[in-house]
């Protein structure tokens, strides 16, 4: 998949683009089944809601062959190379599932953690999200501040040890203050990111985003593959490998055909 110049310009201007119909329904089903299986793991890489139900799993490419192949899929990696003008490595992959009553994710930048904790030097990377469910205005879509990537790293952000999920999820998430959010939204606005299952979001790692409680009966399942240029690698190793990469080698993309057969053996 090749991006058009208009898509690249939209990414530069707004901080993200959504490409529809990248994955066929049968591929979405395969990925969903793989993701749900990984979420059943009992390990520390799985974060849970207060009621014990899983809602995130980090390092998905370490635990499933099909999800590992997804992280090298040509339709994810080649556009990322184009947007970053460089070879890329996977800094982090994860499964995000927001079921009914799934909790808030506070305002943050993914790069905020990658820089402060993992030692990624420059605000230069792409968050790739594969939509495995239809995401509409009703099932807690991502909320994002268009153009906020132009601010670079937002300095008024900090850990929130009072968060209900601090020990499992937010212990590494630097939340942005209400005052700063008001300033950003006043300047840039605030939008929802909706898309049908099989779509792919490419978002600058410095875009400020979050999501609300899912009060609908509709699940929202996303797979994230977050990539950085190979010359913008993490330089500290505070977190386990399922949180942050140890392999900084350039990704060799796999074709759609290779992806189809991954996980069959």
| Of 31-45, 161-175, 247-261, minimum mean pLDDT range | 161-175
Query: What does the pLDDT read at residue 264?
Result: 72
Q: What is the mean pLDDT of residues 99-128?
A: 94
The alpha carbon of residue 109 and the mean position of all alpha carbons in its chain are separated, in whole angstroms, by 11
Query: What does the pLDDT read at residue 49?
Result: 86
C-alpha span between 1 and 93 (Å, rounded) = 21
* pTM of the full structure: 0.95
Q: pLDDT tens digits for 147-185?
A: 999 999 998 777 766 665 555 555 677 889 999 999 999
- With a pLDDT cut of 90, the percent of the chain lying above it is 83
- With a pLDDT cut of 70, the percent of the chain lying above it is 95
Query: What does the pLDDT read at residue 195?
Result: 99
Q: pLDDT tens digits for 46-94?
A: 998 888 899 999 999 999 999 999 999 999 999 999 999 999 999 999 9
For residue 215, count other CB atoms closer than 10 A to its CB.
12
Domain annotation covers residue 222: yes
C-alpha span between 157 and 179 (Å, rounded) = 11
Query: What does the pLDDT read at residue 221?
Result: 98
Query: What does the pLDDT read at residue 143?
Result: 98
Domain annotation covers residue 261: no
Query: What does the pLDDT read at residue 265?
Result: 55
Full residue range of the structural domain in which residue 222 is found = 5-232
Query: What does the pLDDT read at residue 155?
Result: 86
Angle value at C-alpha 41, between 38 and 46, nearest 5 degrees: 85
Domain annotation covers residue 90: yes
CATH number, position 60: 2.60.120.620
Domain annotation covers residue 258: no
Compute the radius of gyration of the chain from its Cα atoms: 17
C-alpha span between 156 and 177 (Å, rounded) = 6
Task: Using the predicted structure, report yes or no on whether residue 233 has a pLDDT greater than 60.
Answer: yes
Domain annotation covers residue 246: no
Q: Mean pLDDT score of the chain, rounded to an integer? A: 93
Domain annotation covers residue 256: no
Backbone φ and ψ for 213, nearest 5 degrees, come out as -65, 140
* Number of folded domains that form the chain: 1
The closest alpha carbon to 124, from 227, 29, 197, belongs to 227
pLDDT band at 223 (very low <50, low <70, confident <90, very high): very high
Domain annotation covers residue 89: yes
C-alpha span between 75 and 200 (Å, rounded) = 9
The alpha carbon of residue 130 and the mean position of all alpha carbons in its chain are separated, in whole angstroms, by 9
Domain annotation covers residue 72: yes
């Amino acid at each position: 998949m090749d991006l058009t110049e208009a898509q690249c310009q939209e990414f530069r201007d707004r901080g993200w683009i959504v490409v529809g119909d990248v994955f066929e329904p049968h591929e979405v089903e395969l990925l969903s089944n793989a993701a749900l299986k990984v979420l059943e793991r009992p390990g520390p890489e799985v974060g849970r809601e207060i009621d014990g139900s899983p809602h995130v799993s980090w390092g998905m490419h370490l635990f499933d062959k099909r999800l590992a192949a997804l992280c090298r899929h040509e339709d994810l990696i080649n556009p990322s190379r184009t947007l970053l003008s460089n070879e890329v490595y996977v800094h982090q992959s994860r499964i995000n599932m927001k079921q009914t009553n799934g909790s808030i994710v506070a305002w943050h930048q993914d790069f905020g953690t990658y820089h402060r904790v993992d030692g990624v030097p420059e605000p230069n990377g792409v968050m790739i999200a594969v939509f495995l469910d239809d995401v509409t205005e009703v099932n807690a879509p991502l909320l994002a501040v268009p153009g906020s990537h132009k601010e670079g790293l937002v300095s008024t952000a900090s850990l929130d040890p009072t968060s209900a999920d601090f020990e499992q999820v937010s212990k590494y998430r630097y939340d942005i203050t209400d005052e700063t959010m008001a300033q950003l939204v006043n300047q840039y606005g605030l939008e929802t990111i909706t898309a049908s299952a099989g779509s792919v979001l490419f978002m600058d790692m410095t875009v400020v985003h979050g999501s609300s409680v899912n009060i609908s009966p509709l699940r929202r399942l996303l797979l994230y593959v977050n990539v950085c240029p190979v010359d913008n690698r993490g330089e500290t190793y505070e977190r386990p490998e399922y949180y942050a990469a140890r392999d900084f080698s350039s990704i060799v993309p796999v074709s759609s055909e290779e992806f189809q057969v991954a996980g069959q053996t």
